Structure 1
Amino acid sequence: MTADSPHAVARLRAARLARSAKPFLARGGPKGERCAGCRLVPTHCLCALRPVVPARAGMCLLMADIEPLKPSNTGWLIADVVGDTFAFGWARTEVAPALLALLRDPQWQPYVVFPREFADAARVVHEVTQPSTKRPLFILLDGTWDEARKMFRKSPYLQNFPVLSLHPEQRSRYTLRRAQSAAHFCTAEVGAMCLALAQDNPAADALNAYLDVYTEHYLKAKQQRPVDLADEVHLRLQAATHSA
């Protein structure tokens, strides 16, 4: 992926739109216009602020049906930051051959990221093995909590991989959707935690900062207020990008 080419989530979104029987209309913005690169209204475009940082880990997003279409989806931010991000739509009755090929690729060690209470104890791990000849591939189930649980239960091709259970001490900072529990985190927050466990700390810091800037732009656009490119969240993103 290059800075000018669409990443995996953007391609999945385009494919999902192409097979829609009616147009998907996201709320906000004059006549609904949104930037194709960041999904925000053009006055609050984020594309120029996209961080470029290295990461050894990869991300595999299994996305519920309309998740790629939502402007508030944060899996898109992971694909912006992590070069090796793969995205697939999830369906109970079929699986993309490219996903199965990815999971068999010997360069990757897949981890299914999910709470331990839903998995057999023998599968649960809390750390990413270091060092390893394989690169970690974090499988994130991207959807509502109910959708994610269904994906976890009804995806037999994931059943032989370790389940990475996270135990964050902080609460979620994500405010663009209402979570069912204070313990639930948005997809980008989970991705940043995984990157930190994989010792991809510059990428983890950049993704966290990028999420905060994205949230700021999104909310300011809803309020029809300008963003301050010199405020704390923008400066933190700038520092994270330059330190990578």
Structure 2
Amino acid sequence: MQPLVPHAVSQLRTARLARSSKPFLARGGPRGERCTGCRLVPSHCLCALRPVVPTQAGVCLLMADIEPLKPSNTGWLIADVVPDTFAFGWARTEVEPGLLALLADPQWQPYVVFPGEFVAPERVVTQVDCDAAGRKRPLFILLDATWPEARKMFRKSPYLERFPVLSLAPEQISRYKLRRSRRDDHFCTSEVASLCLDMAGEAHAAQTLDAYLDVFSHHYVQAKHQLPPDWNSDAHTRLHSLRAG
């Protein structure tokens, strides 16, 4: 198998590691060797299952400081699946020029994905305008962070204030099974991206990302408990079917 080309999140992780004064240790301490392509231990590697689905929509990840370093980060999965995924580290006092250039690119219509209850009503939209020919491509800006960090990022990023805020209704989000928060209305970044893609008419990419998250979660948990993955699980079968389609 040929080496995978590092995507935006992988590149951001490499840059973040280069700035570290000490090694980053994932929760639980040293775990030995990890695959550089999927961040799992080699026995549970997912690289051969990576599904790439070209889309009209794009995703821009604004990532809190250590998010690119976490093996469990699901923004990585989005970058695996969606070729036009961009990733930038967030800082309160400075903005990466590449991010500003992306937001100014006329091919894109950025949407900041955030709960509408925290936003002025005139900024909130609940649909993605992607039907008419010649329209700009939707670019979903996801704040990849814990909920307290995401609220801070939203408040302290004035360069996002000119864009509409896409608010996702709870009844839409509830179809995603995996829970990563004590609150039922908080979902991981990959789950939110799946819903955004579906709203943009990218049903195949949304379903593929959803299935890929389930497979990744299974491998991650099995590796944590030193158990082999079930390569014939329902999640694997669904992902294989979507990749074949």
Give TM class, smaller chain: over 0.9
Cα distance between partner residues in 1 of 2:205 and 2:175: 20
Q: Are 1:135 and 2:137 matched, yes or no?
A: yes
CA contact (8 A) 1:79 1:85 kept: yes
Higher mean displacement: 72-81 or 125-134:
125-134
Alignment of 1:228-239 (within 5 A): 228-239=230-241
Cα distance between partner residues in 2 of 1:61 and 1:174: 20
Higher mean displacement: 143-152 or 234-243:
234-243
Q: What is the RMSD of the two structures over their aligned residues, measured on CA atoms?
A: 1.6
Superposition deviation, residue 28 in structure 1: 6.1
Cross-structure match for 1:60: 60
Unaligned runs of 5+ in 1: none
Change (3 A) 1:30 1:140: closer
Alignment of 1:77-226 (within 5 A): 77-132=77-132, 133-169=135-171, 170=174, 172-175=176-179, 177=180, 179-226=181-228
Letter in 2 for 1:221: A
Cα distance between partner residues in 1 of 2:152 and 2:118: 11
Query: Cα deviations across residues 169-210 of structure 1 (Å, max 9, x unaligned)?
Result: 2165335x4x14110010000000000000001100000000
Change (3 A) 1:79 1:3: farther
Cα distance between partner residues in 1 of 2:166 and 2:198: 13
**Matched position secondary structure for 2:138:** strand
Superposition deviation, residue 167 in structure 1: 1.1
CA contact (8 A) 1:78 1:207 kept: yes
Cα distance between partner residues in 2 of 1:9 and 1:89: 10
Q: Normalization by structure 2: what TM-score?
A: 0.94
Cα distance between partner residues in 1 of 2:198 and 2:176: 16
Superposition deviation, residue 31 in structure 1: 4.4
Q: Normalization by structure 1: what TM-score?
A: 0.94
Superposition deviation, residue 27 in structure 1: 4.2
Superposition deviation, residue 108 in structure 1: 0.1
Cross-structure match for 1:72: 72
**Matched position secondary structure for 1:32:** coil
Cα distance between partner residues in 2 of 1:135 and 1:230: 37
Cα distance between partner residues in 1 of 2:115 and 2:54: 27
Letter in 1 for 2:150: A
Cross-structure match for 2:12: 12
CA contact (8 A) 1:33 1:42 kept: yes
Give aligned-pair identity as a percent: 68
Cα distance between partner residues in 1 of 2:27 and 2:40: 11
Letter in 1 for 2:187: F
Change (3 A) 1:148 1:30: closer
Superposition deviation, residue 223 in structure 1: 1.2
Cα distance between partner residues in 2 of 1:117 and 1:31: 41
**Matched position secondary structure for 2:236:** helix
Query: Cα deviations across residues 108-159 of structure 1 (Å, max 9, x unaligned)?
Result: 0000000001111000000001324200000000000000000100000000
Cα distance between partner residues in 1 of 2:110 and 2:53: 22
